Structure 1
């Protein structure tokens, strides 16, 4: 479990306090990074390249461990990578969504129900038997999200999930995640550098030089970065 003994329930679904992360090369990525996300919030994490956004997300998702600081996250956690080809491992849509359920000791009927429910939630149920290679980039990202939903995750961590998508697919994906947060009571933290995506979140954080420089209303942060 990511973290160091902090129990993550209400009032915070995600909490990071004074995180510090340094690569073996000596490059300091996070220095005193702190933030809190409440249950049911859809928050976005902004910042220039090298500001520490992806590193922070990977720490919260248990993929990296910092040298200092405290953190907690409400489990289960679903992680969506920038490139879905690094995440989708099975030949068909339905098989890939079911892949994360293998170790949950579920009946075949329960697995089928979870897969169908997750695919219906992201409007891809009709593509259940479609080969992964035949999907568009946006559809692949939806399948990755469906895999997380099938595990009944409480928190979604999304690392620039629209980076490789065309503009229409970008907006379509962010709207779907926003709706999932509201419909299913999820908490989501979404890394982005696209200001237009701020129109769909509840709150935003601005990272600079490895720490949260500002946070609050998305429109205010948008105006700050546009000025």
Structure 2
């Protein structure tokens, strides 16, 4: 196992109502690996992702994560803020006080990595859902993120765009040595990851081989319906 990109120990989180959302959760993801987070609705997947991203604070436990961290929402319209593709990718670099030449280089490299360089001047509103998700990922790549957290990024996409996105994220993880944790409900996406975690009522109940977990999740969903 290589250097760990994410290391979580005994994480606990509860909502103000007192309801426990994450209980005694421990997990590890090495650099250069693509893992998925599974579970039926209400199991705590999005909550765990937000804890890792620092959008929520745990009540106890430890989170070790390599920075910077990129977060990709289910709906890209919630995070794309500039009028054009290139401007949006550059926007995330503002705080780094980089030279214009460095920003230009990083934007072009990131857009090339997600096959959108030819659309650099395209207005955001003119993009498909899949293209918008790739712009959001390019924004994280331009910031040289070590970890990508993706919250059901294919939920709003058509089947072809779903396959294209999950395949391109896998390629980026392997070529750049970053780590990714991807929340999904789509069992076919498990064919692309190195491993998976299964959450049930906020607790991590299984992890490891994606195909084994796929079968377990199918049984869970079958029992629920």
Task: Give per-residue Cα distances to partners, 1:21-75, cap 9 Å, x unaligned.
Answer: 1111222111111111111110000001111111111111110001111111011
Confirm whether residue 187 of structure 1 aligns to residue 161 of structure 2: no
Deviation of residue 223 (structure 1)? 2.0
State the alpha-carbon separation in 1 of the partners of residues 207 and 23 from structure 2. 17
Deviation of residue 147 (structure 1)? 0.2
State the alpha-carbon separation in 1 of the partners of residues 160 and 19 from structure 2. 36
State the alpha-carbon separation in 2 of the partners of residues 186 and 111 from structure 1. 21
State the alpha-carbon separation in 2 of the partners of residues 48 and 224 from structure 1. 11
Aligned to 1:129: 121
The aligned length equals 218
State the alpha-carbon separation in 2 of the partners of residues 21 and 194 from structure 1. 26
The answer on whether the counterparts of 1:87 and 1:144 sit within 8 Å (CA) in structure 2 is: yes
Secondary structure of 1:59's aligned partner: helix
Aligned to 1:6: none
Aligned to 2:213: 221
Secondary structure of 1:13's aligned partner: strand
Give the CA RMSD over aligned residues: 0.9
Confirm whether residue 74 of structure 1 aligns to residue 62 of structure 2: no
State the alpha-carbon separation in 2 of the partners of residues 224 and 164 from structure 1. 25
2:204 corresponds, among 208, 212, 215, to 212
Deviation of residue 183 (structure 1)? 0.9
Confirm whether residue 28 of structure 1 aligns to residue 9 of structure 2: no
State the alpha-carbon separation in 2 of the partners of residues 154 and 196 from structure 1. 26
Confirm whether residue 60 of structure 1 aligns to residue 52 of structure 2: yes
Deviation of residue 167 (structure 1)? 1.1
Aligned to 1:47: 39
| Unaligned stretches of 5+ residues in structure 2 | 220-225
| Unaligned stretches of 5+ residues in structure 1 | 1-9
State the alpha-carbon separation in 2 of the partners of residues 146 and 122 from structure 1. 7
State the alpha-carbon separation in 1 of the partners of residues 117 and 128 from structure 2. 15
The answer on whether the counterparts of 1:34 and 1:211 sit within 8 Å (CA) in structure 2 is: no
State the alpha-carbon separation in 1 of the partners of residues 102 and 41 from structure 2. 42
State the alpha-carbon separation in 1 of the partners of residues 51 and 202 from structure 2. 13
2:166 corresponds, among 169, 174, 183, to 174
State the alpha-carbon separation in 2 of the partners of residues 13 and 79 from structure 1. 15
State the alpha-carbon separation in 1 of the partners of residues 203 and 191 from structure 2. 23
Aligned to 2:223: none
1:162 corresponds, among 151, 154, 157, to 154
TM-score (norm 1): 0.94
Deviation of residue 201 (structure 1)? 0.3
2:109 corresponds, among 117, 131, 156, to 117
